[in-house]
Each structure stands twice: as C-alpha cells, then as structure tokens.
Amino acid sequence: MLQYNIRGENLEVTDSIKEYVEKKVGKLERYFDTPPSSEVHVNLSVYNDEQTIEVTIPMKNLLLRAEEHNTDLYAAIDLVVDKLERQIRKHKTKVNRRFRQEGAPKYVFAELEREANQEQMQSDDEFDVEIVKTKRFDLKPMDSEEAALQMDMLGHNFFVFTNANTDETNIVYKRRDGRYGLIET
C-alpha cells in the first residue's frame, strides 16, 4: 500500500490536489502483483507561473523518479504519471529479458512485457544512452561560491570541484529556478 508525503512550495496543497495526486499515482499499483509498500514523496511547486511536480517512489531494487513542468498543475500531474509508467514498463521489460535469458518461467511479468514491447517499439530510441565525449581534468580545490562563479564564467549548468574545506569531490549546479544547488559526495 502506497503512503503519500505531499508537500507544496509556494503553493497550498488543497484536498482536491491531494486526492488527484493519490488517484493518479495510485494507478501505478496495477503494474505490480502485490502492491508495493512504499512512501511516495511528492513535491509541488510554483515559480514564475510554472507548476512543477517531482515524484519519488523508493522501492526494493528500483527507484522511480520523475519531474514535470507545466502551466497547469493537473496536466503536470498527468505527465509525471505517464513518465513513471514508462519507467516501470522499461524496468519490467529488462527484468523479463534477464529471466528469459537465464531460463526462468515465462509467466513472470508476461502481461506487462507485451504492453511494454508495444510501447518500446514506438520509442526505442528514447531509452538508448550513448556516450559521445569523454573529458578528463584535474580538480582544483576551491569553495562552493568560487565553483559557482567558475561555472557561470564557463556558461555551464554544473561544475565539478574539490571542496577546499572537506577535500571531497562536490558538484555545484544551476537549478531551473535560477538558484544554485550543491551535491556533496
């Protein structure tokens, strides 16, 4: 059974919004033989008339996460659920292939695989990952403010550096709202 943790930023989470999120995200349970017992983290926010929804569902052996932006909050919720459905189908297809190769019973995820195969044939390119360039460089010790300035000077969206205070690798990045974020490893 899914438990919901719905938070709003610059937005009041009304009962109707909460019910709509729970109804839409709850439909994902149909993809599992036994409903996952997991907490669904939902962050709703508004910046410059743009509604954003972030959904994270941590499960055993799988982390589902999707984010969508739209001027209409309900449309953003629909889009994020579609994205989560694609992630589940992709995962189930990979699991099913692995079981088939190892000779496991065919009935495992069979129904879901048929659905996923139909969608995957249409959007196979969407899931392919190809690394086209590799860069190597030495990390200069600096603080996060200097790293943010370096990132801006280079015109990048992120910058990897060695934190002079902790001597660990950190990443500073530009958020969609124009502010900065820091990832500590």
Residue whose C-alpha is closest to residue 1's, from 42, 38, 30: 38
Which residues have CB under 8 Å from 41's CB, separation 6+? 5, 54, 55, 56, 57, 58
Q: 39-54 b/e with 16+ CB inside 10 Å = b?
A: ebbbbbbebeeebbbb
Specify the pLDDT at position 121: 55
Q: Which domains, and CATH codes, for the chain? A: 3-127 (3.30.160.100), 141-184 (3.30.505.50)
Specify the pLDDT at position 113: 55
The phi, psi pair for 165, rounded to 5°, reads -80, -40
Specify the pLDDT at position 86: 86
CB distance 94 to 112 below 8 Å: no
- Whether residue 99 is predicted with pLDDT greater than 80 in this model: the reply is no
Sign of the CA dihedral with 80 first, then 81, 87, and 90 last: negative
Could you tell me the end-to-end alpha-carbon distance of the chain, in angstroms, rounded to an integer? 33
- Whether residue 77 is predicted with pLDDT greater than 60 in this model: the reply is yes
pLDDT tens for residues 118-165? 555 555 445 567 788 787 777 878 888 888 888 777 778 888 999 999
Specify the pLDDT at position 177: 84
Structure tokens of 53? 């929804």
Residue whose C-alpha is closest to residue 182's, from 159, 155, 165: 159
